[in-house]
Each structure stands twice: as C-alpha cells, then as structure tokens.
Homo-oligomer: A and B are copies of this chain.
Amino acid sequence: MTTNFAEYFLLKKGLTFLNHGSFGSCPKPVFQTYQNWQLRLEEQPVAFLDQHRDLIDNLSKPRQALGELFKTSPQNLVRVTNATTGLNAIARSIPLADGDEILTTDHEYAAVENTWEFLVRKAGAKIVRAQVTLPLVSKEQFFDDLVSHMNERTKILLLSHITSPTALHFPIKQVIDEARKRGIITVIDGAHAPGLIKLDLDALGADFYVGNCHKWLLAPKGAGFLWAHPSWQQKLEPLVISHGWGVKERKKDRTSFLDSFEIQGTQDPSAWLTVPAAIEFRKTHNWDQVSRACNLLAQETAQRISKITGLAPLSSPEFCAPQMIAMPMPKTDYRALKDYLLNECNIEMPVFDWQGRTIVRLSVAAYNSQSDMDHLVKSVAEYFA
C-alpha cells in the first residue's frame, strides 16, 4: 500500500491492532463528520430531532446511500443500532409455534443464538444446528449440509453471510432460493458483510438482511441497517414502539416500516448520519484497491502461519472472507495464547475456543502493514517453538 493509512485512523500507536472485525475503526475525517453532526444537534436540538422538521430528511440520506451501494430501494432498509438489534426486531416479529424449527449452522454468533434461544423456549420451538462440513470447499456440500435438515417444521432459516468465529463467506444464495421454494423464512445475519464483500440485496432474495456499517464500511460505532423484503415491511414490529407507530396520515414516500423504525425516542443519530461520509471516504481513497491489497496480505500471512502450525485453513480461498481469516492453532490453552499475544507481543486479536479448536482470527485493514504481519508470524512461531 503506497498511502500510509495508519495516519488516517485514531487507533493508539504502538499496538498491533489486528481485530478490525469485531468493532471496526473509523477514519479521522469520518469521525470529524460524526462529531460535527453532534455539534449541529446541540445547536438546535428541536429542529434537529423533530420528525416534522429536519430529522426525516437527515435520516433518509444514509438510506439512499446504502440503497445505492447495495442495489436496493432506500424504502427497503432502516437504521438500527447494530445487527443484533435488527435481528431481535425480526425474531420478535415472527410468531413461533410449538414444534417450529429454526434451521441454522454451527458457526453462528453467540449473541444471536441467545436471541433465538430466548424465543424458542417461550414458544416450544427449537433450534436445529446443521454442521457445516469442514473444510468448506464446495457450494454443493454446503447446500446439502443445510437442505438435509429442512422439513415441514422448518419455519426459519438463519444464516450468517460472513461467519463470526470462523470468518467464512457462506455461499448462501442457493440455500436461500431452496428455502423460499419451501416457504421457509430466510433471515441473513450480515453483521460483517457491508464493506467487506459486494452486496446485492434485492438479488439475494432473502426475507430479511441485517448489517453493520461500523465494521468494514468505516462508520462510527452504532450504525447498522435492517433490510426487509417489501412483503414483510408492514408486518415487522420495532422493538421500541414510539411516535412513529400507528401514524394515521403519512407523508409521501413514508411507510409504517420507515416511521416506526426511524423514530424511537430521543437519541443521538449521528453515527447513522455519518454513513454517507464513510462511503464517500472509501470512494475518494479507492477503497476497492485498498481492500484487495489487504486481502492479499491476509491470505499470505495465513499461509505463513499455516506453515508454522501445520494446520490447513477452514476453507478454500473462495469461501474465506476477504481481509479476515480464522486460523486454527495447535492444541493449546487459548487464554494463555491470547494473554501472550496481547501482553507480551502487544497484538490485539481474538483468540478463542470454537468447537474444541483454538482459533486466532486475523483481520487486515488499511492501517495494517507488512511489518504488523511479520510481527504476528514471528510471535506465533516463538509461541509454538
């Protein structure tokens, strides 16, 4: 990378930060836009926060920017604080009955599993976790892994687009198509996807899709979206019922979906309002190219680590998320390895146990350098020497 992007970010110096994937990092000019929105709010809070004055127009611009980027109508998506919040609204809006099954995989995010666990217990429904065959090397195998568990009780298919513990890019399109054919509701957890992979939300054909803008799209923390197929929008219930619910006379282009999700009591919407600035920053700095370079560096680093550990990756490159790779480690106490990396090597990255394997998840973002990678490879080599 020719530009020194590290200077654009606020991360503290001296730390080797290899965990963009968890919470992202916001470039300085985008962060400045964020704090400027907050100042504007404080200058005239009533004009800013009143839905009959500036609020709706301001909230609409990020919808338009995301609609354009992800090839869907801005009418199909609303802001949520984060993907988890969006998934909770979806989960609470689908009535579950005794015996219903939620089909998902063994790679899902723990918080999201909690959400569904909470609801299936109340309803007498259950979660069915399909085991995804590893290494993930074939679309057909993935399809079979899921479809073999579909039956007349399957009410919902819940799939990560990019998995959190294993950083796999699931080939979800065919499985969604099959689910729709069978009348199964499809809910896609795209927490990690926006800004990391190309998204074509209409063409994907799911019932619901949620994503975070504060990870790879570079927005400030607390900016996510919920996309809902038009056939669902009237049925979707926000978690917070407030002024936007049950409005009798709506303005042109306004729907209950937009009003009820966009207006949920006094809060600072600045993170959401900054999403267009984050998208603009990426365009200005040729982010597709930056991402490709990061991806190459990630792949190369994972190969170097793989040589040290002697362990193969969890998938073929085709199914590995760009810029984010889960690297299996030799059997070891994951807490000790995490402590070593953080406290002795000053490397911030997730180290955890996943199904009895120790995983180190590497994220490579614009601010990371070849020397960050060399430091990681050397540190891992020394640990297992």
Contact = CB atoms under 8 A, between A and B. Distances in A.
A240 B242 contact: no
Interface in A42-66: 42-47, 49
A99 interface: no
A42 B10 contact: yes
A265 B82 contact: yes
Contacts of A43: 10-12
Contacts of A74: none
Interface of A: 9-12, 15, 17, 19, 22-26, 31, 34-35, 38-39, 41-47, 49, 81-85, 88, 110-111, 114-115, 117-119, 212, 214, 220-222, 237, 239-243, 245-246, 264-268, 271, 348
A11 B42 contact: yes
Given A23-B266, A46-B19, A82-B265, A41 B111 contact: no
A185 to B, nearest CB: 19
Nearest to A15: B44
Contacts of A46: 17, 19, 22-23, 348
A11 B240 CA distance: 29
A208 to B, nearest CB: 16
A321 B26 CA distance: 43
A72 B15 CA distance: 41
28 contacts: A9-B42, A11-B43, A12-B44, A15-B44, A22-B46, A22-B49, A22-B266, A23-B45, A23-B266, A25-B42, A25-B45, A31-B42, A38-B220, A41-B221, A46-B348, A47-B348, A84-B264, A84-B265, A84-B266, A88-B239, A110-B243, A111-B242, A114-B241, A114-B242, A115-B241, A118-B237, A118-B245, A222-B266
